[in-house]
Structure 1
Amino acid sequence: MNRPVTLVHRTSYRYDRPVSLGPQTIRLRPDATCPTPILSYGMDIQPHGHQRTWRQDDFGNHEACVTFDRKVRHFDITVRLTADLAPVPAPLHTDARPAPPVAFTQPLPAGPHLRALLAEVAGIRHPDPLARLEAINRMIAARITYRTRMEAGVWDAEETLTRQTGSCRDSAWLFIQVLRHMGIAARFVSGYLIQPDIDDATCDLHAWAQAHVPGRGWVGFDTTSGLLASQGHIPLAAALEPGQVAPVSGLLDSCNATLDVSMTLHHGDDTKITDLKGQ
């Protein structure tokens, strides 16, 4: 049974004077391997008079490269997509694709707090590799209290463990470092999290991790909830490091700029607007 949900995601930049924008890279399009069926997709860019080309980066992510031939006072991106969030059973087939590059298994140096956590994780044993990773994910979700952080950037594993709190991107990066120290390939994911409950439908830009599980391929782990990624997790970009999956990146003239981001979720006859300014 289909369960379509339509998301409208608006990103608006306003500048205090006409500015020259360098090439802008936009990573807001799911690719064909997205486990959630995407029934329709569109992206509108304003102002007119720009050039847009689609390409895939080294990790296979879809990127829109946008250039302007004149100065602008604003830059607006509107994404409209319809996804089918009907639950589906986990795939039973074996993933025969080759293992990911070694770079996905190379961690950053571990500090004392991370070394202590790795010693605890070594005691988690299970004959099923996926079940073991689920237990580690639950451990991190229980230990790191979720918080919204408005400032840019991602904390390293040591800082997140020291504070025992962090944003979704901080706990995801911690989980990735743990897995890489275990020799398990892991990558950072940026995407949409849609929770279409009838009474309180919500959507957010979100970050989680994916681990490469033998026989299953890339499996998503949400370190905020401690659960596996589900139909509501729509990946937009996955890469070695968080900085490689930014939704929008590019250069512009020095100026005073303001950013406004909003999402509108249409679920049947219900519409819920979630303000994501600053996230």
Structure 2
Amino acid sequence: MNTLVTLRHHTSYRYDRPVFLGPQTIRLRPPVNARSPVLTYALNVGPGEGQIAWRLDAHENTVAEAIFAEQVSHFDIEVRMTVDITPYDPFQKGGQPLSQTPNNPAYRVITSDPDLLDGFLDGQFLSAGETDLARLIWLNRRLAQSLHYKTRMEPGTWAPAETLSRLTGSCRDSAWLMIAFARRLGFAARFVSGYLIQPKPLDTGSQTLTCDLHAWAEIWVPESGWFGFDTTSGLVTAQNHIPLAVSATPEEAAPVSGLLDHCQARFDVLMEAQHLHRETNT
């Protein structure tokens, strides 16, 4: 049985006066080789006179660049897609295949004080499992248990030291902390932004879905590939995690980035997902 889901994500910016927008980079398209296949995809931006150009960035993400020649009073982005979230075993066929090799040296740059990270680990990592993957799963679960999840609407990502000292943070904060630990331990690691689609809480029938922008860490496990680690749930990522962008730092994976004139802006977002239908494999 294939589990097909339709997703709609609408982002709206309203400005208090007409402004000039610089090129706006939109990172809201899953990779073509994602484990959860994307069957249909459409991106629309407004106002309608804007132009869109697609390209691959330095991390092999498929990104759109929206360009507006005239002043605008609003900026709208709408994504519609159909994705197959049929369950799969993330431990088979290696890890998440966003990119096949960890050759980018930026994925190994240490991002925090090694002594601080070592103090949290307290020498337990090497004895936490028989394989690298088992030990990373242990670390991911420990972070999920140690950190209190906090929704943060303000922009930016906390430094790993701040998240560790507060023992709280958003998904992007804890993912960035996991990456700091992985790099300290000698692994290539990168930041992932994407969608998390899951059944609505208290819906025992699992027919009502929620969809949110989410962030997690991805770590290269030698001879196995990339594996995603969700520090919010403590789980290895699977079919409910739809990756949109990978990068060496959180800033490079932001869903939307670009310059604009100084102004007051109002931001609104709508995300919804629903089951399309269920198909039987033939």
What corresponds to 1:34 in structure 2? 34
Q: Does 1:149 align with 2:152?
A: yes
What corresponds to 2:45 in structure 1? 45
Distance 1:121 1:178, change over 3 A: farther
**Structure 2 CA distance for aligned equivalents of residues 257 and 101 of structure 1:** 36
* Range with greater deviation from structure 2 (79-88 or 220-229): 79-88
**Deviation by residue 1:185-218 (Cα, 9 ceiling, x = unmatched):** 1000000000035254211000000000122211
Distance 1:153 1:167, change over 3 A: same
Aligned counterpart in structure 1 of residue 163 of structure 2, from 160, 164, 185: 160
What corresponds to 1:137 in structure 2? 140
Conserved 8 A contact 2:148-2:169: yes
Aligned-residue Cα RMSD (Å) equals 1.9
Q: Does 1:191 align with 2:194?
A: yes
Deviation (angstroms), 1:262: 0.8
Percent pairwise identity: 49
Structure 2 gaps of 5+ residues are 201-205, 278-282
Which SS does the other structure have where 2:42 is aligned?
strand
Conserved 8 A contact 2:94-2:226: no
Distance 1:59 1:76, change over 3 A: same
**Structure 2 CA distance for aligned equivalents of residues 157 and 188 of structure 1:** 13
The number of aligned residues is 269
Deviation (angstroms), 1:243: 0.5
What corresponds to 1:275 in structure 2? none
Conserved 8 A contact 1:40-1:83: yes
For residue 264 of structure 2, what is the amino acid of its counterpart?
N
**Structure 1 CA distance for aligned equivalents of residues 133 and 180 of structure 2:** 17
Conserved 8 A contact 2:90-2:236: no
Conserved 8 A contact 1:196-1:267: no
Structure 1 gaps of 5+ residues are 270-279
What corresponds to 1:236 in structure 2? 244
Which SS does the other structure have where 1:148 is aligned?
coil
Conserved 8 A contact 2:129-2:138: no
For residue 190 of structure 1, what is the amino acid of its counterpart?
S
Distance 1:241 1:94, change over 3 A: closer
Deviation (angstroms), 1:158: 1.2
Conserved 8 A contact 2:114-2:184: no
Which SS does the other structure have where 1:189 is aligned?
strand
For residue 10 of structure 2, what is the amino acid of its counterpart?
R
For residue 28 of structure 2, what is the amino acid of its counterpart?
L
Conserved 8 A contact 2:125-2:135: no
Correspondence list, 1:210-225, <5 A: 210-225=218-233
**Deviation by residue 1:143-178 (Cα, 9 ceiling, x = unmatched):** 011111121111111111111111101110111000
**Structure 1 CA distance for aligned equivalents of residues 115 and 161 of structure 2:** 8
Conserved 8 A contact 1:14-1:257: yes
Deviation (angstroms), 1:250: 0.7
Deviation (angstroms), 1:93: 4.1
Conserved 8 A contact 1:121-1:136: no
Distance 1:100 1:264, change over 3 A: same
**Structure 1 CA distance for aligned equivalents of residues 38 and 263 of structure 2:** 37
**Structure 2 CA distance for aligned equivalents of residues 60 and 143 of structure 1:** 33
Q: Does 1:226 align with 2:234?
A: yes
What corresponds to 1:81 in structure 2? 81
The structure whose RCO (Cα within 8 Å, separation 6+) is larger is 2
Distance 1:27 1:196, change over 3 A: same
TM-score, normalisation: structure 1: 0.91
Distance 1:235 1:93, change over 3 A: closer
What corresponds to 1:65 in structure 2? 65
Deviation (angstroms), 1:69: 1.4
**Structure 2 CA distance for aligned equivalents of residues 49 and 205 of structure 1:** 27
Aligned counterpart in structure 1 of residue 272 of structure 2, from 243, 254, 264: 264
